[in-house]
């Protein structure tokens, strides 16, 4: 008689023997197969996002000083340091053209300069061969005070300033070459990780290209400013009974605003301001020709400002028919305190003193180059003793960013509130007006407008 079969239950095969071993309880949930890769990708995305944000902030800088400050701060954040030092050098020289510190005062920078250049990591990345490994990876000194071969003076300075490690990196790229170097200081022994070195290296190469562009731009602006200054009076004349002061700022592209002051026969004085349309080298060259021509006409017939501007109009129309310009010329007799002026499309002068502050009412006229024949009546007025006549170009008004009527009101208010102690000094008057009109300074880099202010104080 055969043994009875066990009943079948869905999902269980009664023929398969049951194991007597009990499996260990599941204490941890196993990680998904791609979790490690996902973590790595998340880290890379975070690093690239940080690098992108830092490079965008650097790209937004418009001046060399702002870019250098941003580079020092961003580099310190990338390598985990608190202080740093950056040096720019002109090509072919070993003299720093720019030295900037982060978390280091002037005295600290002075102490660092006493260390021999070759004894520092920064000096080695600055002076080493461009194709050396240091030029690519930088130099890490993880324990300065523990280095037995450290220069004694360097050890003394490091102890005084309280840093124990450093990481130096050259500012170099294939296109720009080597512009300089940067070093960041650690308060405790340590060095940046491989990932930090990679990120700061990428950032430094981009920063080098940006610095090279800004360096060339600032050099070009400096050249333009030099040329513009050479086209204007090198000094103001000394005429009995009147004292002069002038302020001038050329836009970054070079503009056509100008001024002049020249002695005339019989102890007279000619004052002129003007503006040529356009910007760049062409406008600067036209400005130089216009000013030179006005000087010649003023010497011949300066007592008649209308004739001077009429001759200037004819010259401009014949030689540069596509050019327009504004100009104002004033013939002054300081001894008689008499001023005769004429303007061609130019802003009116402002007279300020202890008893009045008002614009001179001039005849409305078109700019030079816009009429077949220019002529407008002249205006005569008498400044009282102690009063100052302020001539300026419309760039001063436009730089405020206000509508013209509001800008005129601001200029009037600025002149009216010149302190009494400064009203007899034309230089102090011009400086006060500029500070009131342009609180951010005359040399702000984000404006393309030229500015000219010429002040004549009558004793």
Mean pLDDT of 88-105: 77
Residue 316: what pLDDT? 87
Percent pLDDT > 90 in the chain is: 56
Which residue is associated with the tokens 């609180």? 439
SS3 282: helix
Over residues 315-363, the pLDDT tens digits come to 888 888 888 899 999 999 999 999 999 998 899 999 999 999 999 988 7
Residue 406's SS3 state is helix
**C-beta neighbour count of 249 within 10 angstroms:** 23
Q: Report the pLDDT value the prediction gives residue 3, as an integer from 0 to 100.
A: 47
Q: Crossing angle, helix 194-231 and helix 281-301, to 10 degrees?
A: 20
DSSP string, 50-92: HHHHHHHHHHT--SHHHHHHHHHHHHHHHHT-SEEEEEEE-TT
3-state secondary structure of 130: coil
Mean pLDDT of the chain: 85
Q: How confident is the model at residue 208 (pLDDT cuts 50, 70, 90)?
A: very high
Q: If pLDDT is split at 50, 70 and 90, which confidence band does 7 have?
A: very low
Please state, in angstroms and rounded to a whole number, the distance separating the CA atoms of residues 168 and 359. Answer: 60
**CATH entry, 54-223, from 3.10.20.600, 3.40.50.620, 3.40.50.720, 3.30.450.40:** 3.30.450.40
- Four-CA torsion 223, 226, 227, 230, nearest 10 degrees: -170
The CA dihedral of 381, 436, 250, 349, to the nearest 10 degrees, is: -10
For every residue of 182-199, DSSP letters joined together read EEEEESSS----HHHHHH
pLDDT class for 232, splitting at 50, 70, 90? confident
Please give the distance of CA 446 from its chain centroid, rounded to a whole number.
Answer: 7
Taking the CA atoms of residue 217, residue 102, residue 110 and residue 443 in that order, the dihedral angle to the nearest 10 degrees is 40
pLDDT, average across residues 126-139 = 72
Residues constituting the chain: 459
Q: Is the pLDDT of residue 453 over 60?
A: yes
CATH 3.60.40.10 residue ranges of the chain are 232-458
pLDDT range class, residue 13, cuts 50, 70, 90: very low
What is d(CA 195, CA 50) in angstroms, rounded to the nearest whole number?
13
Averaged pLDDT for residues 197-214 = 92
Question: Which residue from 284, 291, 274, 392 is spatially nearest to 326, judged by alpha carbons?
Answer: 274
pLDDT value, residue 187: 95
Q: Which two tokens stand for residue 25?
A: 């309880």
**Is 96 strand, coil or helix?**
strand
- pLDDT tens digit sequence for 400-428: 889 999 999 999 999 999 999 999 999 99
Q: Flag whether pLDDT at 249 surpasses 70.
A: yes
pLDDT by residue (tens digit) across 157-181? 999 999 999 999 999 888 888 899 9
> In terms of Cα–Cα distance, which of 20, 447, 56 is closest to 252?
447
Handedness of CA 283, 288, 294, 298 (dihedral sign): positive
**What pTM was computed for the model?**
0.65
Query: Between residues 359 and 224, which one has the greater pLDDT?
Result: 359
Q: Where in the chain is the domain with CATH 3.30.450.40?
A: 54-223
How confident is the model at residue 105, as a pLDDT?
92
- Alpha-carbon span 111 to 161, nearest angstrom: 9
pLDDT of residue 6: 42
**Coil, strand or helix: which one is 40?**
helix
Residue 442 pLDDT > 70, yes or no?
no
Q: In angstroms, rounded to a whole number, what is the distance separating the alpha carbons of residues 286 and 279?
A: 10
- CATH homologous superfamily of 232-458 equals PPM-type phosphatase domain (3.60.40.10)
Within 197-311, strands assigned E span: 242-249, 257-264, 268-276
pLDDT, position 286: 85
How far is residue 24 from each of residues 21, 130, 146, 201, 308, measured CA to CA in Å? 9, 62, 53, 51, 108
């Amino acid at each position: 008689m055969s043994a009875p079969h066990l009943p079948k239950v869905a999902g269980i095969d009664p023929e398969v023997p049951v194991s007597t071993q009990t499996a260990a309880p599941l204490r941890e949930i196993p990680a998904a197969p791609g979790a490690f890769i996902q973590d790595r990708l998340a880290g890379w995305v975070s690093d690239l996002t940080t690098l992108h944000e830092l490079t965008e902030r650097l790209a937004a800088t418009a001046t060399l000083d702002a870019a250098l400050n941003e580079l020092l701060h961003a580099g310190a954040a990338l390598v985990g340091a608190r202080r740093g030092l950056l040096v720019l050098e002109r090509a072919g020289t070993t003299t720093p053209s720019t030295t900037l510190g982060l978390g280091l005062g002037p005295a600290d920078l002075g102490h660092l300069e006493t260390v021999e250049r070759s004894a520092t990591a920064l000096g080695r990345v600055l002076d080493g061969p461009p194709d050396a490994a240091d030029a690519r990876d930088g130099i890490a000194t993880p324990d300065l005070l523990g280095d037995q071969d450290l220069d004694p003076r360097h050890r003394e300075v490091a102890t005084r300033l309280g840093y124990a490690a450093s990481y130096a990196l050259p500012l170099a790229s294939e296109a720009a070459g080597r512009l300089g170097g940067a070093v960041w200081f650690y308060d405790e022994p340590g060095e940046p990780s491989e990932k930090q070195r990679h990120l700061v290296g990428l950032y430094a190469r981009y920063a080098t290209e940006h610095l090279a562009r800004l360096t060339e731009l600032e050099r070009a602006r400096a050249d333009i400013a030099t040329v513009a200054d050479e086209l204007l009076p090198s000094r103001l004349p000394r005429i009995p009974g009147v004292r002069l002061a002038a302020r001038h700022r050329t836009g970054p592209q070079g503009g056509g605003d100008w001024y002049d002051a020249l002695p005339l026969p019989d102890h007279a004085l000619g004052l002129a301001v003007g503006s040529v349309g356009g910007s760049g080298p062409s406008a600067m060259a036209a400005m130089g020709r216009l000013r030179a021509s006005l000087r010649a006409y003023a010497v011949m017939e300066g007592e008649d400002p209308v004739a001077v501007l009429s001759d200037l109009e004819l010259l401009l129309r014949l030689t540069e028919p596509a050019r327009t310009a504004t100009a104002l010329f004033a013939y002054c007799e300081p001894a008689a305190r008499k001023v005769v002026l004429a303007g061609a499309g130019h802003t009116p002068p402002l007279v300020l003193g202890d008893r009045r502050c008002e614009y001179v009412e001039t005849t409305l006229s078109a700019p030079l180059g816009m009429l077949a024949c220019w002529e407008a009546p002249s205006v005569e007025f008498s400044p009282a003793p102690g009063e100052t006549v302020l001539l300026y170009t419309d760039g001063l008004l436009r730089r405020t960013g206000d509508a013209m009527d509001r800008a005129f009101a601001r200029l009037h208010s600025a002149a009216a509130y010149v302190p009494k102690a400064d009203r007899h000094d034309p230089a102090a008057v011009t400086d006060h007006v500029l500070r009131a009109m342009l609180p951010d300074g005359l040399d702000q880099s984000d404006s393309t407008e030229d500015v000219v202010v010429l002040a004549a104080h009558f004793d």
